[in-house]
Each structure stands twice: as structure tokens, then as C-alpha cells.
Amino acid sequence: MTQQPLLEVNDLRTRFHTPEGIIHAVNGISFQVSEGETVAIVGESGCGKSVSMMSLLKLIPQPPGEIYSGKAFYRGENILSKSEQEMEDVRGKEIAMIFQDPMTSLNPVLSIGHQLTEALREHLGMTLEQAESRAVELLDQVGIPDAARRLHDYPHQFSGGMRQRVMIAMALSCTPSLLIADEPTTALDVTIQAQIVELVTRLRESLHMAIIWITHDLGVVAGMADRVIVMYAGFIVEEAQVEELYDAPAHPYTLALLAALPRIDRRRDQRLKSIPGAPPNLLLAPRGCPFAPRCEFALDKCRQENPILTGIAANHQAACWVDVKTGGLR
Amino acid sequence: MSETKPLVEVQDLKKHFPVSRGLIFQRNVGLVRAVDGVSFSIQRGETLGMVGESGCGKTTVGRTMLGLYPATSGKVTIDGDDILHLKGNDQLRVRRKAQIIFQDPYASLNPRWTVNSIISEPMRVHKLFATEKERTERAKELMQRVGLNPRLLNRFPHEFSGGQRQRIGIARALASDPLFVVCDEPISALDVSIQAQVVNLLEELQDQLGLTYLFIAHDLSMVRHICDRVAVLYLGVMVELADRDELYEKPLHPYTKALLSAVPIPDPRKDRARKRTILTGDVPSPLNPPSGCRFHTRCPIAMEVCKKDVPEWREAAQGHFVACHAV
């Protein structure tokens, strides 16, 4: 395990300057992704999970956004200090991204074939014929029937699940080493979600690709992730191997999220345990732990000082003063 | 339970939407059979869940049975009144008994109205109180009941979070003292931590006010949690209906089985160990539904007969209904 990680993010911070004030979207997150590993980032809307990934690829419009601290080493090189031109070689070729809504990320007036071959010709310098035959291969690979004919179809002629497959085909076109999937199945039905999860899992194995899977659903990542990162209010609050996280969640927020989730495999015994209140307003710089106002374990110290992420077991880190097993200070 | 008369009865409800082509000389080129003959009943105080993939017609059932879409055919009785065939004041009287909570808490509240006017509107329509003052008092009471601070009475929807807006929508639905509420995906647009709050609120209100719910959702885990019985819809027809635990533990229809197996379990070992039935392809177009059993094009156990004959809707076990040739 002395191997260099594929991606190493150190103290990434992103904020947005708005007329109302400064929004602290990402507040110093650090994590690593190894080659071929699947890491899930879980959190509710506004927790900074998407913004942190967009920051990595420098897809944040600056201004109003500002990445004001942090380094992100991809294969040992800090990609955050790269110029826009250098980033174009990283995006798509090394790190590819797929988004939640495939309809808005595809150009509605260009055929699927046009959009697929563009990247191949741009990044890999293929001729049109080469690019087209590769595009057919890619559509085949992601399970689109009758790929050669569908190359000339437009996005609206595909269903939601099929569009997400097209997006995946586009993302894979330059065989990236890291795929960032931003809530790729949230807009889809469970049956289609199962298809997409199965497809990505199969591709990950055959292409030996690392995956960062962003989601708000602790259910969908349980079966596919190696490691899970939980975010709240722009902070990483817990990080653990997948079994460890579900067996022994150490942060009250993770605990509460799991308790708020109804289970399809269990008979109902009581009301759901809901989390009171709402996520914090990111306009106000947090004092103390950002989860403290909603936390059932909160002590005085939690309201004064924000805990930092510390190791509590092998491959398990949490940012919490409290030991949730005893209710006292850790 | 089966002795008492159900509060809500739906018989052979159909809703077809015409598809037209042409800008000036419009002509109908087909029919979307969104709901194609659905029957069910709901007992007083019961919650019936309605699940299926998008496009299966579950939302259309909810809206058509309240008369929000004119029904193509069929009969809906709520508390003994035929809601679809009444006119004028009679219709208004029946509509007071049945309300709806919508999926999108952003689109379903008028942004230019205050919370007070939103919640009081059903009272105005149904002429429930003599004065505006009384209506405002009642609106405050309702806000309290759904967990909103009554002092926020004169605020506008944009000043509230998604979860709070959904509470406003619930207060509006309760304003006319309904017996029956259609909950059309009331939590799908909310964050996980807020979903549990809203579901618990719906359950508390049901206990306090004896409400009857039709709970439409695509989140099968939540449906298992909140519903007493569950109906599964596919392409405008019902394929299975059973008590909650019966349906989740002993599903009979291959579609129900596939649907349930696709739901992830938040437990890594259990989720990996599961055998999944992954359905191929998408739901076919309701413009041209497949012959025979509508599910035969995606069914893992389809037989010759499934392509030709529509399977009969029958009671396979006590209270467990299914439409499948293979069962």
C-alpha cells in the first residue's frame, strides 16, 4: 500500500461570492482515491459534494466561485495549478464526469454520433471513420441495441436510462482512469438504476477504472463502493471502508441518516427516526460543529469548537468530539 | 375490516390522452392509454400504496380519481358519492372530502401568494367560515398542526425550505377537512433527512384525524414503511395488489419481483449477496401497449400465451390479487 494514490486531494476549499455574502461551499476536504477503487461521496443537497468535484476539474465559474485553497494531485501532478489549456487534456481523457440529468448535459440539436465522435477526434486525433466505428463500439459496450443505426439519432429519441448510457459511453470514449459520477441514477427508476449500477460495475472491472460516485442515497452505494465519505455543510464528517461504515457508523450524522432510511428488507416496527431541523445556512461561517444544532449527542464543546477528522479505527475516520457508543467525549 | 364499506371505491377507471399532430388542422393520431381499467378500494383510515416505474400511470390515477383530469370512463365513489358524475354544488360538496398533496413543493404553491392566502383558499372556495378573520385563525391552527410557526403566516413560499413548503402543501390539503388525501410522491423532491420528518407528520395526521391515504411513490422502501396495502401498476393496468408484508415477502408477479429486487439495501453484505432480476430495456410506449400481458416484452418467464391473452385478475391468496398466466 505504499503505492502512490491515483488522486490525492489536500485541504480543498471553495467559496462563492454572492450579493448576499460569501457561501462557504467546501471547507477544507482531504481524501485519496487509489487506482481501480470505488469511492462514494454521500450527503444531502448543499453539502458540497458536487461543488468539490467540479472544483477538482476546474469547472467552477470563477467568479463568482473561488477555489481559495488546496491541492489535488493526480498521478503526482497538482491539477489545480494547471492552465485552462492543460486542463482540457485532463478532462475527458484522464478524468471523465457524468451528471445527474443526461438531458441537459447532451446537446439537443446534435446527433449522438456527432457528440461521441467529437471527443475522439479532439483528444485522440482520430479520423471521422475511425471515430465512428469506435463510437459504435462504445454504444455497444454500454448496452445500446442497434448501435450503428442509433448513432444518427438525437438525444430526445432516447429514454432517460438510454441517455445516461450514452453519457457513460461518452465518458469512456477516451478510456479515463477516473470516472466521477454525479448522482447518475437519481433521476431514474429503480429498475433502470439497477441496470446502470450493473453496467458501471462491469465496466469498472473490465477497464480497471477508479470511480467517485456522488449520491444522497446510502442504499445504492452499499453494494458497489469500496469506501464511503460522508459530507455535511462542506466538511467531510466521516470516512470508512464500506462494511465498517454501515456496521459501526461513528458520526451522529451518519447514524441519523441510516436511522431515517426505511428498509425494504425489514418489517416496520416503529416510526422513522427523523433528523430535526434543516442543513445549516452556508452564508454564515460555522462556529463549532456544523451538525451540532441537529445532533442528539451534542455537548457544550461541540458548540464551541469544530472537530477535525481523526482516525478512530483502522481505515475509519470521523470528525466528532463524541463517542456515540457512550455519549461522552471521545 | 372487509365487512365495512370502503371509503373510496374505484371501478374500471380509464384515462386516455389523445395525441394530436398538426399546427392548425389538428387531427388525432393516437391515444396514450395512461390508465386503462384500474379498480381498487380503500378502507377508512387505511393507506394504500401505489407503485410502478415512471409512465405506469400512477400519478394519472390519483389525479383522474379526484376529477383533476376528466376521466375517459369508470366510476369513483368517495364516502358514497359518485365524484366524477356530479355537477355544480354537489360536486363541490364531494370535492371537499378529497384533497391532494403534490410532488413538487416549488411548483405547487403560487409564489405570489402568502402562506395565509394559500392555506385559506380551500376554505374560501368551500365557504367554510363567515369571515376572513376566522379563516386566518384556522390557517394559524393548521400551520401549528403541520409544524410551522404560525407567525410566518404572511411570508411567501420562497422564504421556506423544500420540507417546509411541503408542510404548507399539507396544511392546504387539510384546510377543507378532507376524509381522503391523495399523496402524489410527497417526499420524492426532499432530502433524506427531511423525508422522514414529512412521512412522520403524515402518519401523525392520519392518527389524529383518521385520514385515508392513497400514497403514490416510486420509493418502494418508504411504501413498505407507510402503507397498509400496496398496488403495483404497469403501463396503465394493475398487476398485483396485496397486504404490505405479503407483497414484499411473497411477491407473485414477475414484475413485482423484479421491481423489489432492484431496490438497494443499505447494508453492504446483504446487498452484495442478493440475487437481482435486472429487467432489460425500458417501459414500452403507452401509445402502443404490447398485446396480451403488457409485461411480456420484458418478462423473464414469458410464455407463448402471454403474447396473446390478457391475464385474468384473480385472488391467488386471501386478499392477494395478481394478473399473471404463470401464477
**Are the Cβ atoms of A219 and B221 closer than 8 angstroms?**
yes
pTM over 0.90: no
B285 touches chain A (CB under 8 A): no
The segment with the largest mean pLDDT, out of A127-131, B90-94, B189-193, B319-323, is B319-323
Angle, alpha carbons B129-B135-B139 (nearest 5°): 140
Question: Which chain A residues are within 8 Å of B270, Cβ to Cβ?
Answer: 265
Which chain B residue lies closest to A257 (C-alpha atoms)? B193
Residues 252-281 (B) with a CB less than 8 A from some CB of A: 258-272, 274, 276, 278-280
What percent of chain B has a predicted confidence (pLDDT) above 70? 99
Among residues A270, A204, A209, A233, the alpha carbon closest in space to that of A33 is found at: A209
What's the average model confidence in pLDDT over B40-66?
A: 92
**Are the Cβ atoms of B265 and A265 closer than 8 angstroms?**
yes
What percent of chain B has a predicted confidence (pLDDT) above 90? 64
What percent of chain A has a predicted confidence (pLDDT) above 70? 98
Residue B323, pLDDT > 70, answer yes
**Are the Cβ atoms of A262 and B270 closer than 8 angstroms?**
no
Cβ neighbours of residue A327 closer than 8 Å, sequence gap 6 or more = A297
**Are the Cβ atoms of B197 and A191 closer than 8 angstroms?**
no
Task: Please give the pLDDT value at position A7.
Answer: 93
Task: Please give the pLDDT value at position B308.
Answer: 92
Which chain B residue lies closest to A281 (C-alpha atoms)? B161
Q: What is the rounded CA–CA span in Å between residue A190 and residue A194?
A: 6
Nearest to B199 among A223, A263, A272 (CB): A272
Please tell me the least confidently modeled range out of A16-30, A99-113, B188-202. A99-113
Q: How far is A74 from chain B (nearest CA, A)?
A: 29
B224 touches chain A (CB under 8 A): yes
Q: What is the DSSP string of B282-323?
A: -PPPTTSPPSSSTTTTT-TT--HHHHHSPPPEEEEETTEEEE
Residues 26-55 (A) with a CB less than 8 A from some CB of B: 44-45
B200 touches chain A (CB under 8 A): yes
Among residues A158, A176, A160, the alpha carbon closest in space to that of A113 is found at: A158
Question: Which chain B residues are within 8 Å of A243, Cβ to Cβ?
Answer: 268-269
**Are the Cβ atoms of B196 and A274 closer than 8 angstroms?**
yes
Query: What are B208's three cell numbers?
Result: 389524529
In terms of phi and psi (left: phi > 0; alpha: psi -120 to 50; beta: otherwise), the region of B67 is: left
**Are the Cβ atoms of B276 and A194 closer than 8 angstroms?**
yes
Q: How far is B74 from chain A (nearest CA, A)?
A: 29
Task: Please give the pLDDT value at position A1.
Answer: 47
Taking the CB of residue B178, how many other CB atoms lie within 10 A of it? 20
Return the axis-axis angle of helices A128-141 and A160-172, rounded to nearest 10°. Answer: 130
Residue with cell 390557517: B139
Q: What is the rounded CA–CA span in Å between residue B172 and residue B149?
A: 15
pLDDT tens sequence across A49-62: 889 999 998 888 88
Task: Please give the pLDDT value at position B1.
Answer: 46
**To the nearest whole number, what is the mean pLDDT of chain A?**
88
Residue A238, pLDDT > 70, answer yes
Name the amino acid, one letter, at B137.
E
Q: What is the rounded CA–CA span in Å between residue A167 and residue A104?
A: 11
Residues B192 and A257 sit within 8 Å (Cβ to Cβ):
yes
**Are the Cβ atoms of B262 and A279 closer than 8 angstroms?**
no
A223 touches chain B (CB under 8 A): yes
Question: Which chain B residues are within 8 Å of A267, Cβ to Cβ?
Answer: 245
Among residues A197, A205, A196, the alpha carbon closest in space to that of A166 is found at: A196
Nearest to B282 among A159, A220, A279 (CB): A159
Residues A222 and B264 sit within 8 Å (Cβ to Cβ):
yes
Residue B24, pLDDT > 50, answer yes
Residues B96 and B177 sit within 8 Å (Cβ to Cβ):
yes
Residue B285, pLDDT > 70, answer yes
Residue A279, pLDDT > 90, answer no
Question: Which chain B residues are within 8 Å of A158, Cβ to Cβ?
Answer: none
Q: What is the DSSP string of B236-259?
A: TEEEEEEEHHHHHHS--SHHHHHH
Q: How far is B76 from chain A (nearest CA, A)?
A: 29
Instruction: Supply the DSSP symbol for B160.
Output: S
B306 touches chain A (CB under 8 A): no
A273 touches chain B (CB under 8 A): yes
Which chain A residue lies closest to B244 (C-alpha atoms)? A267
Q: What is the DSSP string of A58-113?
A: T-S-TTTEEEEEEEEEETTEEGGGS-HHHHHHHBTTTEEEE-S-HHHHS-TTS-HH
Nearest to B264 among A216, A219, A256 (CB): A219
Residue A263, pLDDT > 60, answer yes
Question: Which chain A residues are within 8 Å of B220, Cβ to Cβ?
Answer: 190, 264
Q: How far is A306 from chain B (nearest CA, A)?
A: 22
Mutate to test the interface with A, among B51, B249, B282, B298 (most CBs of A within 10 A): B282
A-B CB pairs within 8 A amount to: 128
Q: How far is B262 from chain A (nearest CA, A)?
A: 5
Residue A204, pLDDT > 50, answer yes
What's the average model confidence in pLDDT over B215-241?
A: 94
Residue B270, pLDDT > 50, answer yes
**Are the Cβ atoms of A223 and B203 closer than 8 angstroms?**
no
**To the nearest whole number, what is the mean pLDDT of chain B?**
90
What percent of chain A has a predicted confidence (pLDDT) above 90? 30
- Beta strand pairing call for B47-51 and B212-216: parallel
Residues A34 and A205 sit within 8 Å (Cβ to Cβ):
no
ipTM confidence score: 0.81
Task: Please give the pLDDT value at position A144.
Answer: 82
Q: What is the DSSP string of B172-186?
A: HHHTT--SEEEEEST
Which chain B residue lies closest to A246 (C-alpha atoms)? B267
User: Residue A120 — very low, low, confident or very high, per pLDDT cuts 50/70/90?
Assistant: confident
pLDDT tens sequence across B98-147: 999 998 888 899 999 999 999 999 999 988 888 999 999 999 999 999 99
